[in-house]
Amino acid sequence: MFSTPSLSFFQEIIELIGIFSFAASGLIAALRKKLDLVGVSIVAGLTAFGGGTLRDILLDRRPFFWVEHSYWLWVIIGLTVVSIWFIKNKHLVYTEKMIQLPDAMGLALATILGTQIALQFDMPVIVAILLGVISATFGGALRDIVCGEIPQLFSDNRPYAVIAFAGSGLYIFLSSYLLDNSTAAVISFVFIFTIRAIALYKNWHLPSFRAQK
C-alpha cells in the first residue's frame, strides 16, 4: 500500500506505523469472526496491502509492495500468531481504540503516496485523487467484505474517505501551483492526520441518506 520510489526515514517510520495499524484492524475484525490462523492472516494482509494492491492493478504497476518487500508477509503471520494466543475478547475494543491515531497516520501517508504514484503515471487529477483514496481505504473495505459485513467505508458516517479525498486534492493543488512536492506532501499529511484526529475526538458524523417513501 505504501510504495514509492524513495522513502525518507520519516516516511518509513510512518509506513511502519500505518501497516501495523491497518493489519491490526484486520486482525480485530477476523478475531471477532472467530476465523482460523489462515483466515486471520489473510484478512490482516488484505487490510494492510489491499488498497495499494488494487491501485497497482488499476495502474498495471509491478511489483506489488508486498512482493517487493516480502518480509512484511512474515510480519503479518507473526502478528497473527501472537494475536491468536494473547489477545482476548475483552482486549478487542481497547485495541481498536488504541490504533485509531496510528490508523490516521496510515490514512494520511497512503493517500499522499497513492496520489503521487498515480501522478507519476500521468493520470488526470480526479483519477489521481481517487487512486489516492483507494490506496488508503480499500484495504478496510476488502476486510469487511471478506468478513461478511457491509464495508464501514460506506456505512460508517464518521469521515474517513472524504478526508483522504480532500487531502489528496490539497496535495495536488499545493504541488502544482504553490510548493515543491516534499513540502506539499508534509502539509497534506498533517492536514489529513489532524482532521481525522479531530473528527475522532469530536465524534463528527457525515449525514446519511435514504430513499424517501
* pLDDT at residue 7, rounded to an integer: 47
Q: Residue by residue, what is the 3-state secondary structure of 157-168?
A: CCCCHHHHHHHH
Average pLDDT, the chain: 87
**pLDDT band at 4; cut points 50, 70, 90:** very low
pLDDT digits (tens, 9 = 90+) for 73-131: 998 888 888 887 777 666 677 777 788 888 899 999 999 999 999 999 999 999 999 99
Distance CA 86, CA 94 (A): 14
pLDDT digits (tens, 9 = 90+) for 7-39: 466 777 888 888 888 998 898 888 888 888 889
pTM: 0.86
**DSSP E strands, the chain:** none
pLDDT of 3 over the 70 cut: no
Average pLDDT over residues 182-192: 93
Reply yes or no: is the peptide bond before residue 63 cis, omega within 30 of 0.
yes
pLDDT digits (tens, 9 = 90+) for 118-138: 999 999 999 999 999 999 999
Query: Shortest CA distance to 145 belongs to which of 53, 26, 36, 57?
Result: 26
- CB contact set of 191 (below 8 Å; sequence gap of 6+): 108, 166, 167, 170
Contact 76, 27 (CB under 8 A): no
